[in-house]
Amino acid sequence: MNCCAQVGAEAGGSAPFLTDHTTLIDSVETFIFDCDGVIWKGDSLIDGVPETLDMLRSMEEIFASSFAAAAYLKSMKFPTDKKVYIIGEAGIQLELKQAGINYIGGPEDGDKRIDLTPGQLMEHDHDVGAVVVGFDRYLNYYKLQYATLCIRENPGCMFIATNCDAVIHLTDAQEWAGGGSMVGAIKGSTKKEPLVVGKPSTFMMDCLASEFNIKTSQICMVGDRLDTDILFGQNGGCATLLVLSGVTTLETLQSSENKIQPDFYTNKISDLLAAKKVTTNA
Amino acid sequence: MNCCAQVGAEAGGSAPFLTDHTTLIDSVETFIFDCDGVIWKGDSLIDGVPETLDMLRSMEEIFASSFAAAAYLKSMKFPTDKKVYIIGEAGIQLELKQAGINYIGGPEDGDKRIDLTPGQLMEHDHDVGAVVVGFDRYLNYYKLQYATLCIRENPGCMFIATNCDAVIHLTDAQEWAGGGSMVGAIKGSTKKEPLVVGKPSTFMMDCLASEFNIKTSQICMVGDRLDTDILFGQNGGCATLLVLSGVTTLETLQSSENKIQPDFYTNKISDLLAAKKVTTNA
């Protein structure tokens, strides 16, 4: 049983509504947030998110679950003379930059096309030691071939996937092909399996626990999906908080068919702002 | 033992060099050709190919192994009021057109981009009854999302792959990410397995045998690779002819480590022109 489960959790039955925000925050050293359904929904930021993240950032470490690639590369001491080739968007660039890891590709290669001429050879950088693949709406054949060459021809080059999600909620209106599509493309051309550092792998929790010298039970995973986010947190030995601002309804959570119970649930992460009021009033 | 194996094949040992071209051609009703390494190599047409194909076409049915998708759809009586969505290049369009099957996508969607606006919804054609995926150097996110929507949302929509090759010899200079990459992308966003109608599946042979009311042993598979083309032919119950114009050398063919023996081998398909001379002289 982790620390958070001791804060007001009922024995058996479904997860309790979070009431004691301050005790939860005090018992946690690091929050990991899923983004889709927690920070934003479709293309809209969820109500109260900026203030909540500001408040938590002043008290704890906070991470997006999508930042797992940088966390992993940092923890395995990715050599400073090596580079990452990115299939992905600005978020992966940002996380690698913040971790001090060299990278190429990503948005820079979004407009490149291959118009083949006889005998054409694509040169590639032999210092690429890892290809990181995440969701990329500007995927093209140039990127596929570049990543394929690095993985097939650079000795020891790693193939890292930030997630293998089939679909993503890019807009409220429908589901869109997700990171699993980009990862699948590179699996198909290399016949290699990626190291999946994001959900459902628990690399990230282990990396954070090691980096901050804390227990995984002092990490709280916050997400909107029972079978991915909450299970991911539980598999990593973390406390778990379900928010109802995404795909899971209270009815689903409390259904007798649901076997995955978080330590707590709340409506949206800005409910945590209540902790600030208590702290301020105290 | 198929018909061709009786034309001069030695018992045991390695495959014989093809000498009796006329008897081979007489015993075959239909040739299936692999293209890469047989018709062209990298970006160059192999010597004597046009004349050879002209000669064979005047005597037999000939097919490219890449034409399996149309053959399959035709054989399963794909409804005329349904359409195919193509991820692929002009070849797939051509084969569907020749088979009288309606299609959309392919090269027409090569320049489309998704620049998301809030609430954006991609409409898709609910009459798409099959997505056919092959090699496509103009793959983009528009195509990925379109294909994903059809497979996920159109009841009964088939997911057909022409091949799952990791790499393809687009130019002589290097290997390029192949059809397996495009197929992998759609597997990743749909979490479905495709029906692979091309190599190594033997759908094509069965379709052709049924369509022309012949035995599969009257089909000759011509290819340059032992572990794909020749094995593909043998698994389909066909006669097999290895050409040395592609990746397989005579040394590899005759090596004691090679367990896959075609019925015959020859240097290049234009060697079959010798049959014409015999026929003409006869």
A179 and A223 both lie in a single domain: no
Cβ neighbours, 10 Å, residue B85: 26
As a dihedral over the C-alpha atoms of residue B51, residue B55, residue B57, residue B62, rounded to 10 degrees, the angle is -70
What are residue A64's DSSP bridge partners? A33
What confidence tier does A120 reach under pLDDT thresholds 50, 70, 90? confident
Distance CA A214, CA A222 (A): 18
A88 and A187 both lie in a single domain: yes
Interface test with B, best of A45, A176, A191 (most B CBs within 10 A): A176
How much is the pLDDT for A5? 42
Does residue B189 lie within any of the structural domains?
Answer: yes
Provide φ and ψ at B221, rounded to 5°.
Answer: -90, 125
A155 and A83 both lie in a single domain: yes
Contact call for residues A232 and A202 (beta carbons, < 8 A): yes
Does residue B124 lie within any of the structural domains?
Answer: yes
Does residue A240 lie within any of the structural domains?
Answer: yes
Contact call for residues B15 and B262 (beta carbons, < 8 A): yes
| Chosen domain end from B196, B211, B245 | B196
Does residue B164 lie within any of the structural domains?
Answer: yes
Q: Mind telling me how many Å the CA of A175 is from chain B's nearest CA?
A: 9
Distance CA A20, CA B219 (A): 75
Does residue B72 lie within any of the structural domains?
Answer: no
Least-confidence region, from A91-105, A135-149, A267-281, B72-86: A267-281
Contact call for residues B24 and B275 (beta carbons, < 8 A): yes
A163 and A210 both lie in a single domain: no
Q: Mind telling me how many Å the CA of B89 is from chain A's nearest CA?
A: 13
| Cβ contact, residue pair A187, B183, below 8 Å | no
Angle at Cα A257 formed by Cα A253 and Cα A260, nearest 5°?
Answer: 55
| Cβ contact, residue pair A171, B121, below 8 Å | yes
B118 and B187 both lie in a single domain: yes
Does residue A71 lie within any of the structural domains?
Answer: no
Q: Is residue A1 over pLDDT 70?
A: no
List the pLDDT tens digit at each of the 282 positions of chain B: 344 444 444 445 789 999 988 889 899 999 999 888 898 887 788 889 999 999 998 988 888 876 889 988 988 899 999 999 999 988 888 889 988 999 999 999 999 988 777 788 999 999 999 999 999 999 999 999 999 999 999 999 999 999 888 988 787 788 899 999 999 999 999 999 999 998 778 888 988 898 889 999 999 999 999 988 999 899 999 999 999 998 899 999 999 999 999 999 999 999 999 876 655 554
B104 and B208 both lie in a single domain: no
Domain containing B167 equals 78-196
Distance CA A30, CA A8 (A): 20
CATH of the domain at B191: 3.40.50.1000
Q: What is the predicted ipTM? A: 0.80
Cβ neighbours, 10 Å, residue B107: 14
How much is the pLDDT for A188? 97
Residue with tokens 């210092």: A127
A180 and A233 both lie in a single domain: no
Contact call for residues B203 and B68 (beta carbons, < 8 A): yes
A82 and A192 both lie in a single domain: yes
Distance CA A175, CA B84 (A): 22
Q: Is residue A3 over pLDDT 50?
A: no
Tell me how far the alpha carbon of residue A107 is from its chain's centroid.
19
- In this complex, how many residue pairs, one in chain A and one in chain B, have their CB atoms less than 8 Å apart? 150
For chain A, give the mean pLDDT.
Answer: 88
Residue with tokens 């982790």: A2
Q: Which residues of A touch B192 (CB under 8 A)?
A: none
The answer to whether residue B109 is catalytic is no
Q: How many domains does chain A have?
A: 2
Q: Name the percent of chain A lying above pLDDT 70.
A: 93
Contact call for residues B30 and B233 (beta carbons, < 8 A): no
Distance CA A139, CA B142 (A): 10
Catalytic residue among A26, A34, A115, A271: A34
Rounded average pLDDT over A208-232: 92
| Chosen domain end from B173, B196, B219 | B196
Closest CA to B230 of B260, B270, B197: B260
Does residue A73 lie within any of the structural domains?
Answer: no
Eight-state DSSP code of residue A167: E
B191 and B82 both lie in a single domain: yes
Closest CA to B222 of B83, B63, B67: B63
As a three-state string, the secondary structure of chain B is CCHHHHCCCCCCCCCCECCCHHHHHHHCCEEEECCECCCEECCEECCCHHHHHHHHHCCCEEEEHHHHHHHHHHHCCCCCCCEEEEECCHHHHHHHHHCCCCEEEHHHHCCCCCCCCCCCCCCCCCCEEEEEECCCCCCCHHHHHHHHHHHHHCCCCEEEECCCCCEEEEECCEEEECHHHHHHHHHHHHCCCCEECCCCCCHHHHHHHHHHCCCHHHEEEEECCHHHHHHHHHHCCCEEEEECCCCCCHHHHHCCCCCCCCCEEECCHHHHHHHHHHHHHC
Interface test with A, best of B131, B138, B140, B189 (most A CBs within 10 A): B189
Does residue A141 lie within any of the structural domains?
Answer: yes
The answer to whether residue B34 is catalytic is yes
Residue with tokens 């109802």: A244
Q: Which residues of B touch A190 (CB under 8 A)?
A: 166
| Chosen domain end from B169, B196, B223 | B196
Q: Is residue A110 over pLDDT 50?
A: yes
B119 and B159 both lie in a single domain: yes
Interface test with A, best of B112, B150, B174, B192 (most A CBs within 10 A): B174
A50 and A14 both lie in a single domain: yes
pLDDT tens figures, A178-211: 999 999 999 999 999 999 998 778 888 988 898 8
How much is the pLDDT for A280? 56
Structure tokens at B99: 């088979």
Residue, of A268 and A119, whose pLDDT is higher = A268
Q: Where are the alpha helices (DSSP H) in chain A?
A: 21-27, 49-59, 68-75, 90-98, 141-153, 179-190, 203-212, 231-235, 250-254, 273-281
Please name the residue of chain B whose CA is at the shortest distance from the CA of residue A138.
B141
A271 annotated ligand binder: no
B180 and B104 both lie in a single domain: yes
Q: Which residues of B touch A111 (CB under 8 A)?
A: none
**Closest partner CB to B140 (pick from A140, A183, A187):** A140
